[in-house]
């Protein structure tokens, strides 16, 4: 299966968000990764529903919304209404994860679960079949532009093994510090989707950078 690239608009120019979304539309990007931060679950605040709605107005790609917020159940329907196609919640933010996943699917979205760097893959053993996407955080969530945590490779291999053993069709997404230096090794370990923020948006030629990253991921 083709490996996917999901540029994170956290690193985009918010004063020119229409321009940057249109750039992604014409690029080889598969998904648009959208980071929502509440200043409680993570020590940063990004943006919320009105901004996502504005992006949706221009976006022609799958909207992959990553919630770094406490108690995400409160907003599932609202994120659907502003345009989320995939809604990812943090394992660490959900007391009743199974219920949250069912609610996301009932609202008509694909359900994702993100794991912080310190959270082991094994916590997903009993719920893996209910998850469309696992997002392995390869940095501590909250900020773009951080360095990739090397322990991630081991977690990707463990997760791939869990998915195969359980017969699930869950996709593996990697989020944080992804560059042309680690893309190939991540895919070799079992990754299906690579999120890239600063590597894409700080590049001189983002379209070319996305194309190269996608080629590397599929080589």
β-sheet bridge partners, residue 6 = 195
Alpha-helical runs (H) found in the chain: 17-26, 49-58, 76-81, 97-106, 152-166, 183-189, 198-201, 206-217
Q: Which of 30, 64, 130, 175 is catalytic?
A: 175
Is position 90 an interface residue for Zn ion (rule: CB under 5 A)?
A: no
Q: How far is the CB of 44 from ligand DX5 (least distance, A)?
A: 8
Q: Please indicate whether residue 35 is annotated as part of the active site.
A: yes
- Contact letters for Zn ion, residues 175-194 (x by CB under 5 A): x-------------------
Is 116 or 212 the residue whose CB approaches Zn ion more closely? 116
Phi/psi of residue 82, nearest 5 degrees: -95, 0
Cα distance between residue 173 and residue 187, in whole Å? 10
Interface positions, 30-59, toward ligand DX5 (CB under 6 A)? 33, 35
Binding residue for ligand DX5 (CB under 6 A) from 177, 182, 193, 209? 177
Is 29 or 195 the residue whose CB approaches ligand DX5 more closely? 195
Phi/psi of residue 125, nearest 5 degrees: -50, -45
Q: Which strands make up the sheet holding 62-68, listed edge to edge?
A: 4-7, 193-196, 171-175, 133-137, 110-115, 86-90, 62-68, 31-37
Q: Which of 20, 30, 35, 130 is catalytic?
A: 35
Q: Which residues bind ligand DX5 (CB under 6 A)?
A: 8, 10-11, 33, 35, 66, 139, 141-146, 175-178, 195-199
> What are the residue numbers of the active site?
35, 175
């Amino acid at each position: 299966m083709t490996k996917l690239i999901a540029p994170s608009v956290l690193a985009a120019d918010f004063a020119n968000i229409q321009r940057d979304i249109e750039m992604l539309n014409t690029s080889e990007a598969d998904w648009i990764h959208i980071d929502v931060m509440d200043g409680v679950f993570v020590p940063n605040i990004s943006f919320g529903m009105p901004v996502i709605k504005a992006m949706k107005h221009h976006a022609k790609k799958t909207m992959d919304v990553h919630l770094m917020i406490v108690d995400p159940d409160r907003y599932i329907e609202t994120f659907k209404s502003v345009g989320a196609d995939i809604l990812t919640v943090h394992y660490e933010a959900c007391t009743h994860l199974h219920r949250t996943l069912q609610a996301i699917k009932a609202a008509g979205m694909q359900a994702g679960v993100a794991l912080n760097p310190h959270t082991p893959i094994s916590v997903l053993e009993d719920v893996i079949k209910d998850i469309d996407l696992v997002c392995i955080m390869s940095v501590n969530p909250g900020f773009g532009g951080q360095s990739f945590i090397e322990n991630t490779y081991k977690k990707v291999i463990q997760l791939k093994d869990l998915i195969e053993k359980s017969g699930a069709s869950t996709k593996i997404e990697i989020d944080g510090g992804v560059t042309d230096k680690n893309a190939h090794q991540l895919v070799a370990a079992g990754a299906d989707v690579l999120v890239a923020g600063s590597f894409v948006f700080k590049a001189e030629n983002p379209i070319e950078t996305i194309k190269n990253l996608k080629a590397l991921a599929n080589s």
